[in-house]
């Protein structure tokens, strides 16, 4: 904010200089010089007339000489009066105008900005595009929402801040309040579905219904189309996934090459899954994934892998059986929600050191290295099924860059 006001002050100073300097310089400098030149010219004309009269015999030499002396004396008298008159302490009108503008211009500009501008737009976390990046900012924002729980702008920032920090359940709770206050905004329904899907590691059920609502409000909402395609892939409806993503592909600008490539690869994968299903070769499900061999992980560079440790919270240890299935998977932070890398273990293997990489992809066209950021999810499945069910437990990371190391994930959230 301080930098903003410094820039404004500099611009105002430049504006004042552009206006005031020409006015100041435009002050009449010394009109006596101009008047003296005019008087001198008049004197010459009168002397010339007297010379003509002398030549024509109309004046005697005595009168001619006397007239010249009188004209010269009058000229000297006028020059003396002019010089004295010019020495005045009275300010010139143009100088006064320059001073007034130099004072009024900044006052009027600041007053107009405070009247119709938005000074808070530069204050984090209250600005329209701000995001709470630190715990102090988040606390301030939470206090603001607590005082005014119906402030939609603050609620949007808080919800997005929670999601950005990996607190998806908290983000879902705020979005639930938001869609009641602003029920006709499709992007809020899509964001709500995304946060809820991340909370439960699935877009099935409630998130899918939220996406339907978003597309009812705006059939061309890009985020809703992207997530609807992911939800269709998750339930095995590959033709619907292709339909959603192809529509999304037509809406993307030509210069958005990164998203265009990502969606194109997702469409290709959905078509391959369709072909495999029709030919009787169904792609392996999550619950059919086995632990990768050591040989399969040695050919992957560090930037294409994420390593870390999974632990189970003390509060949930009594609810987990040592033989329950443990899934550790990576999925795109933005884009299709299907797993990009999967590891299957058991609760008895906890605490577990994991190494997720491109060799663990279900499909070679959908690898971790195709995305800038991923989220790692650790889930205990009571039934051993891939789809999250009531009674399962999970934990997840915030969005991570490829190559992240030493990630710590605690399974501490029961799935209702």
The CA distance from 239 to 209, in Å, is 19
CATH code: domain of residue 294: 2.60.40.1120
In DSSP terms, which residues pair with 330 in a beta bridge? 341, 376
C-alpha separations of 215 from 11, 100, 183, 313, 387 in Å: 46, 58, 13, 38, 24
Residues 112 and 74 in one domain: yes
pLDDT of residue 187: 93
Residues 231 and 304 in one domain: no
Number of domains in the chain: 3
Q: Which of 224, 243, 278 is the last residue of a domain?
A: 278
Residues 364 and 308 in one domain: yes
Note whether residue 155 is domain-resident.
yes
As averages over each run of 10 residues, the pLDDT of the chain (416 residues) reads: 63 73 58 60 76 74 76 66 50 66 73 60 43 78 90 90 86 93 94 88 88 95 92 87 92 83 83 69 49 46 81 92 91 76 91 91 76 89 77 90 92 86
Note whether residue 126 is domain-resident.
no
pLDDT of residue 203: 86
Read off the pTM.
Answer: 0.53
Residues 234 and 334 in one domain: no
Residues 58 and 19 in one domain: yes
Residues 250 and 273 in one domain: yes
CATH code: domain of residue 256: 1.25.40.10
Using CA atoms of 353, 355, 356, 360 in order, give the dihedral in degrees to the nearest 10: -110
Note whether residue 38 is domain-resident.
yes
H or E element, residue 37: helix 31-55
User: For residue 46, what are the contacts with CB-CB under 8 A and spacing of at least 6?
Assistant: 71
Residues 230 and 334 in one domain: no
Full domain range(s) for residue 255 = 135-278
Note whether residue 85 is domain-resident.
no
pLDDT of residue 301: 52
């Amino acid at each position: 904010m301080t930098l903003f006001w410094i820039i404004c002050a500099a611009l105002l100073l430049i504006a004042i200089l552009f206006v005031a300097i020409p006015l100041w310089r435009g002050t009449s400098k010394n009109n006596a010089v101009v008047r003296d030149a005019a008087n001198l010219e008049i004197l010459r004309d009168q002397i010339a007339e007297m010379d003509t009269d002398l030549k024509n015999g109309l004046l005697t030499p005595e009168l001619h000489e006397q007239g010249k002396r009188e004209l010269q004396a009058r000229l000297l008298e006028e020059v003396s009066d002019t010089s004295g008159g010019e020495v005045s302490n009275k300010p010139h009108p143009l100088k006064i105008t320059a001073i007034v503008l130099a004072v009024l211009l900044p006052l009027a500009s600041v007053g107009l900005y405070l009247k119709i501008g938005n000074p808070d737009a530069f204050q984090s976390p209250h600005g329209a595009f701000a995001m709470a990046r630190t715990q102090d900012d988040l606390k301030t924002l939470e206090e603001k929402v607590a005082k005014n729980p119906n402030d939609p702008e603050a609620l949007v920032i808080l919800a997005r801040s929670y999601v950005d920090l990996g607190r998806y359940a908290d983000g879902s709770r705020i979005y639930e309040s938001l869609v009641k206050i602003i029920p006709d905004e499709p992007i809020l329904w899509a964001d709500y579905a995304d946060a809820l899907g991340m909370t439960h590691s699935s877009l099935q059920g409630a998130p899918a219904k939220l996406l339907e609502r978003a597309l009812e409000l705006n059939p061309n909402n890009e985020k809703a189309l992207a997530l609807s395609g992911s939800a269709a892939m998750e339930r095995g409806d590959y033709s619907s996934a292709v339909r959603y993503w192809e529509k999304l592909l037509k809406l993307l600008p030509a210069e958005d090459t990164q998203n265009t490539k990502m969606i194109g690869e997702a469409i290709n994968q959905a078509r391959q899954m369709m072909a495999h299903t029709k030919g009787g070769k169904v792609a392996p499900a999550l619950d059919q994934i086995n632990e990768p061999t050591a040989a399969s992980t040695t050919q992957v560079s560090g930037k294409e892998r994420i390593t870390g440790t999974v632990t189970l919270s003390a509060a949930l240890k009594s609810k987990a059986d040592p033989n329950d299935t443990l899934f550790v998977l990576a999925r795109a932070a933005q884009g299709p929600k299907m797993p990009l890398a999967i590891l299957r273990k058991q609760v008895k293997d906890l605490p577990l050191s994991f190494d997720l990489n491109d060799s663990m992809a279900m499909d070679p066209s959908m690898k971790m290295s195709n995305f800038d950021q991923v989220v790692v999810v650790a889930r205990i499945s009571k039934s051993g099924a891939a789809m999250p069910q009531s009674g399962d437990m999970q934990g997840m990371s915030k969005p991570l860059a490829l190559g992240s190391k030493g990630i710590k994930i605690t399974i501490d959230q029961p799935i209702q």
